[in-house]
Structure 1
């Protein structure tokens, strides 16, 4: 076995200790590269932060974060109020209801409500008074007939729901 040599034993291990200055320079270089690669997004984020600072939201947010324990306690106290439970449940029901509506239906209903409120506001502003004769005559108006028919059908649908689910009737 003369041709086989044994490996020399390692007696000393030289551990490379990174130079803190070199590490810091490398980190700064990586940050600058990331900033340059994401220039547009970073500039947009800075503009948003500037606007939030100008309107005082950052100061308010900073105060909330500094007092987060107190704010959390107050929030929990408010959530544990009996009325708040109903509010949360009602919000959930409202979101479920909104999900059942078709966007066209909602747009049509809200458009009608808006236009009706506008007409009502104008009537109040002009101090218009209608006598019984004029109110009766307005029942022949196609717009009034359409609105009345819609309201009657709405009431039919509501009544059907109350009949099918009597425990949910309003008292």
Structure 2
């Protein structure tokens, strides 16, 4: 018959052996990733030369003061307006069909290009030439579009005025 186990001895790892094992693992990982480690060291050197670490360290040491200043700047009415306007812009863009937006932006781009060419030339146009140009299909389409745009804008203004009463 077998002898009963009465004493269990746990092997306590030696601290020196654990450290040696950890160092071996680190050296193996460094050797396996030599190029990445060298690139990281080069990057770190460049960041040190431009004092990024000094600036970051100073910023962290003064984090409470910096946080107070940042919160004061964020709490300005202008920043609130920017945030609200940004949400409004995203809502506006989300309401438009992509094809509509593309057409509108192409029209604005072409209009600005032509306007800048006219501004560069600096030529004045007579009223007679302007009258003749008003008959062109492009200008008639733009004028019709602008009148529809103004009508829609006026409708929104009137509705907004009624809602505030």
**Is the 8 Å Cα contact of residues 64 and 71 (structure 1) preserved in structure 2?**
no
Q: Per-residue deviation at 1:62?
A: 6.4
Output the aligned Cα RMSD: 3.3
User: Which stretches of structure 1, 4 residues or longer, exceed 6 Å deviation after superposition?
Assistant: none
TM-score by length of 1: 0.71
* Cα shift readout 1:81-132 (whole Å, capped 9, x = no counterpart): 1222111111111122122222222221111111111111111111111122
Q: Counterpart of 1:26?
A: 25
2:59 aligns to what? 67
Give the structure 2 partner of residue 17 of structure 1. 14
Determine helix, strand or coil for the equivalent of 2:6. coil
Name structure 2 gaps, 5 residues minimum: none
Using the alignment, how far apart are the partners of 1:113 and 1:61 within structure 2? 46
Which residue is equivalent to 1:153? 148
Name the count of aligned residue pairs: 154
Structure 1 gaps, min length 5: none
Higher mean alpha-carbon deviation, 121-130 vs 66-75, is at: 66-75
Mark the CA change 1:11 to 1:155 in structure 2 (over 3 Å): closer, same or farther. Answer: closer
SS at match of 2:70: helix
Superposed CA offset, 1:118-156 (max 9, x none): 111111111111122222221101110011111111112
Partner of 1:89: 84
Q: Distance in 2 between matches of 1:92 and 1:168?
A: 21
When residues 62 and 158 of structure 1 are mapped into structure 2, their CA distance, relative to the original with a 3 A threshold, is farther
Q: Distance in 2 between matches of 1:88 and 1:76?
A: 15
Kindly indicate whether residue 131 of structure 2 is the aligned counterpart of residue 132 of structure 1: no
Question: So what's the TM-score if we normalise by structure 2?
Answer: 0.73
